[in-house]
Amino acid sequence: MLRHAQKFSPAGMAGSVKQFLSSRSGSLAPMLVMAVIPLLLAVGFSVDYTSAIQTRSNMQNALDAAILSITTLPTTTTDADRQTALQQAYVANSGLGTVKLTAVNVAADGTASFSAKANYPMPTTFMSIARVNSVQVGVGSSVRKTPALVQTTFRVTKVSGYWGKTMYLYGTKFGDTVAKPLMTISYAYNGYGDPKGYGTTTVNTINGSTTTTVQKQVCTTKTVSNFNNLPVGAITQTSGSKKYVTTCADTFYPANGAGAVIDVSQMDQLYLEMDVPSGNPKVLKSNDPSTSDRLYIGVSQSTMPEVAVGQTVNIFTAVPCGQTGYQAWEDGGSAVPTSASVGTTQADFFYTVQGKCNYNQRPSETVLTQ
Q: How far is CA 339 from the centre of its chain?
A: 29
- Looking at the fold, whether 253 and 294 belong to one and the same domain comes out as yes
Residue 61 phi/psi, 5-degree rounding, is -60, -40
Same domain, 161 and 134: no
DSSP annotation of 321 reads B
| Contact in structure between 194 and 245 (CB atoms under 8 Å) | no
Q: Is residue 4 part of a domain?
A: no
What average pLDDT is seen over the chain?
A: 86
Of 138, 141, 65, nearest in space to 102 by CA: 141
Helix (H, G, I), strand (E, B) or coil at 187: strand
Listed in sequence order, the DSSP H helices in 93-191 are none
In a domain, 194, yes or no: yes
Q: Where is the domain boundary, 145, 179, 206?
A: 145
Residues 154 and 140 in one domain: no
- The answer as to whether 368 is a domain residue is no
128 pLDDT band, cuts 50/70/90, is: confident
pLDDT at 16: 56
Instruction: Report the alpha-carbon distance of residue 303 to residue 42 in Å, rounded.
Output: 70
What is the separation, in whole angstroms, between the first and last Cα of the chain? 60
Whether residues 188 and 239 share a domain: the answer is yes
Average pLDDT over residues 160-175: 94
Residue 288 in domain: yes
What are the φ/ψ torsions at residue 154 (nearest 5 degrees)? -110, 135
- 264-323 confidence digits (pLDDT tens): 998 999 999 999 999 889 999 999 999 999 999 998 888 888 898 899 999 998 999 899
Range with lowest mean pLDDT among 73-77, 258-262, 332-336, 342-346 = 342-346
Cβ atoms of residues 59 and 97 within 8 Å: yes
- Confirm whether 99 is domain-assigned: yes
Q: Are residues 235 and 314 in the same domain?
A: yes
Interatomic CA distance for residues 14 and 17, integer angstroms: 5
Sheet containing 112-123: order of strands: 98-106, 112-123, 134-145, 366-368
363 domain-assigned: no
Clarify whether residues 243 and 129 are in a common domain.
no
Phi and psi, residue 196, nearest 5°: -80, -40
More confident residue, 125 or 147: 147
Of 241, 260, 64, which Cα lies nearest the Cα of 155? 260
Q: Is residue 2 part of a domain?
A: no
> How many domains in the chain?
2
187 with 111, same domain: the answer is no
Picking from 124, 145, 166, the residue at the C-terminal end of a domain is 145
Residues 347 and 292 in one domain: yes
Domain boundary among 145, 168, 184: 145
For residue 68, the enclosing domain spans 10-145
- Compute CA 181 distance to the chain's CA centroid, rounded to the nearest angstrom: 19
Q: Out of 62-66, 71-75, 250-254, 280-284, pick the least confident.
A: 71-75
- Within a domain: 44: yes
pTM: 0.75
CA-nearest of 336, 181, 183 to 259 is 183
Q: What is the largest CA-CA distance in the chain?
A: 126
Amino acid at 82: R
Examine the domain organization and report whether 279 and 352 are in the same domain. Answer: yes
Percent of the chain topping pLDDT 70: 83
Q: Are residues 129 and 155 in the same domain?
A: no
- In this structure, are 169 and 128 located in the same domain? no
Burial of 331 by CB count in 10 Å (0-12 exposed, 13-18 middle, 19+ buried)?
A: buried
237-252 residue pLDDT tens: 999 999 999 999 999 9
Give yes or no: residues 156 and 140 share one domain. Answer: no
